[in-house]
Chain A
Amino acid sequence: MSDIINLTLSALIDKIKNKELSSQEITKAYIARAEKSKNLNTYITTDFENAIEKAKKFDEKGNFDYKLPGVPLAVKDLFCTNNLKTTAGSKILSNFIPSYESTVTQHLWDEGAILLGKLNCDEFAMGSSNETSFFGNVESPVGKKVVPGGSSGGSASALAAKLTPATIGTDTGGSIRQPASFTGTVGLKPTYGSCSRYGIVAFASSLDQAGPMTQDVSDAALMLDVISKYDTKDSTSVNFKRGDYFKSLSSNIKGKKIGIPKEYRVDGMPKEIESLWQDGITLLKKLGAKIIDISLPHTKYALPAYYIVAPAEASSNLARYDGVKYGYRSEGENLISMYENTRSEGFGDEVKRRIMIGTYVLSSGYYDAYYLKAQKIRRLIKNDFDEAYKSVDAILTPSTPSSAFKIGDKTDDPVSMYLNDIFTVPVNLSGLPAISIPAGKDKNNYPLGLQLIGKAFEEQNLLDISYSMEKELSFKNNLQDWWIK
Chain B
Amino acid sequence: MSIDLKTIKHIAKLSRISIDDKKAKELEKDLNSIFEFIEALNKVDTKKVDPLTSIAETSLKLRGDEVKTKNIREQILKNSPDENKDFFVVPKVVE
- By a beta-carbon cutoff of 8 Å, the part of chain A in contact with chain B is 95-97, 99-100, 192-193, 206, 232, 235-236, 238, 298, 300-301, 303-305, 307-308, 315, 319, 322-329, 332-341, 343-344, 347, 352-353, 355-357, 359-360, 363, 370, 372-380, 382, 413-415, 418, 430-431
Contacts and interface: CB of A to CB of B under 8 A. Distances in A.
Contacts of B93: 334-335
A193 B55 contact: yes
B14 interface: yes
A97 B79 contact: yes
Nearest to A232: B63
Contacts of B63: 232
Q: How large is the interface on B (under 10, 10 to 19, 20 to 34, 35 or more residues)?
A: 35 or more
A375 B55 CA distance: 11
B60 interface: yes
A178 B88 CA distance: 41
Contacts of B14: 359, 363
B85 interface: no
Contacts of B42: 373
A382 B53 CA distance: 12
B37 A304 contact: yes
B84 interface: no
A238 B52 CA distance: 18
Given A324-B88, A375-B52, A380-B49, 17 more contacts: A192-B55, A193-B55, A236-B55, A307-B38, A308-B38, A325-B76, A325-B79, A326-B81, A333-B91, A334-B93, A335-B91, A335-B93, A340-B16, A356-B8, A357-B34, A373-B41, A376-B46
A206 B55 contact: yes
B18 to A, nearest CB: 4
Q: Which 6 A-B pairs have the closest CB atoms?
A: A431-B55, A375-B51, A329-B81, A326-B79, A340-B18, A376-B46
A323 B81 contact: yes
Contacts of A347: 17
Nearest to B3: A360
Interface centre among B38, B46, B60, B82, by most A CB within 10 Å? Answer: B38
Contacts of B69: 99-100
Nearest to A336: B16
Interface centre among B33, B46, B92, by most A CB within 10 Å? Answer: B46
Contact of A235 (B19, B53, B61): B61
A381 B30 CA distance: 27
Contact of A340 (B11, B17, B80): B17
A84 to B, nearest CB: 12
A470 B78 CA distance: 48
Contact of A301 (B40, B76, B91): B40
Given A235-B60, A340-B16, A328 B81 contact: yes
A97 B79 CA distance: 7
